[in-house]
Amino acid sequence: MKPNVTGIILAGGYGKRLLPLTETTPKPLLELKSGYTILDKQIMDIKYAGIRKAYLLIGHLGGKIKERFGQSYKGVEIEYLEEEKPRGTLWALSNALRHVRTDVVVRNGDVVSDINIKNLVLQAQKGEGLITIAVTKMQSPYGIIEFSDRKITSFQEKPILDLYINAGIYYIRRGAFPLFQKRYERKEVENTVFQTLVEERKASPYYEEGAFWRSVDGIKDLEMVRKEFEARNDKPWGYERVIVNNENYLVKELYIRKGFRTSIHYHPSKDESMHVLEGEGYIDFPKDKKRTNAGVGNVIRIEPKNVHSIVALENLRIYEYSTPHPEDTVRVKDYYER
């Protein structure tokens, strides 16, 4: 069942801290890897969450975004709202919400993330808040030092802190739309509508452990994200990353989002073992009508020609060790329009 939700992506910024790259390329069209941009990933993420219409709020070099995605992109209907000059996120969103008759998922166009949009929508629709804000743990930009009695007792280089920051992904109910049409002195939605909803206790958080997140604010951020995607191949259910590939064996990392599953498939020649690192799920063997638990620490062998599917009950991270047959997959049933 597809959610009755519209996507909105804020894709109009100048990206001044990414100059000279953004002189000729809008920030959302910066490539994560060859042929695959920030905006490609964002659109596909909302598609696989079941959202089939999106508004792209464009500005700087917006014509290049229109040229790339057109009126429909891989099954997602796209409409464009263009600013002639920047007016801030509040104006951009209030303008977009005038065109929408459903709840919305809003994304900042410079955020690269594996946050589970499908699960965010489900949680937000069950909750009572008018807005649900995805949050992520903050990484310190500096090394953290602890000391006692004039002696340094601990040094941690840029650790993940026990603090949460705005991840730039929001679920907004229609009941909140009138707040966006009010007059405010400030131009940013975070300091106006969101602040009002927080004060009225109508804002809820959404957090999931271990999901990759990075805001591409500058050149170093872009370099870090591109490194993340070097050997990574995004899938409807998450991603797979090749760690080792030689003549003797193949090692992959699989990340399957909660509520998703791989296709039902088999490998004619590949003999593989699944080592579960994080999360909870199971391996479904439909021909044998059995399931094998995939919990942390479990190792499950899957012999050649054994039809199976991996199902995630929580975000699931697996190391797959196998014989060296990287393209040796036959899909029996696929759950996604690829």
Q: Which residues are catalytic?
A: 158
The contacts of residue 85 (CB under 8 Å, 6+ apart) are 59
CA-based max dimension of the chain: 66
Contacts for 318 with CB less than 8 Å, ≥ 6 apart: 253, 254, 255, 256, 274, 275, 276, 277, 294, 310
Tokens of 221: 């951020």
Output the DSSP codes for 125-167.
HHS--SEEEEEEEEEPSS-EEEEETTEEEEEESSPEEEEEEEE
Using an 8 Å Cβ cutoff, are 277 and 317 in contact?
yes
SS3 83: coil
Residue with tokens 């000279």: 20
Identity at 113, one-letter amino acid code: S
Residues 252 and 243: beta-carbon distance below 8 Å: yes
The encoded tokens of residue 113 equal 């993330």
* Among the listed residues 38, 75, 33, 79, the one whose alpha carbon sits nearest the alpha carbon of residue 56: 79
Residue written as token pair 């959202």? 51
3-state secondary structure of 21: helix
Task: For residue 39, give the nearest of 51, 54, 17, 19 by alpha carbon.
Answer: 54
Sign of CA dihedral 276, 273, 229, 6: negative
β-bridge partners, 131? 172, 203
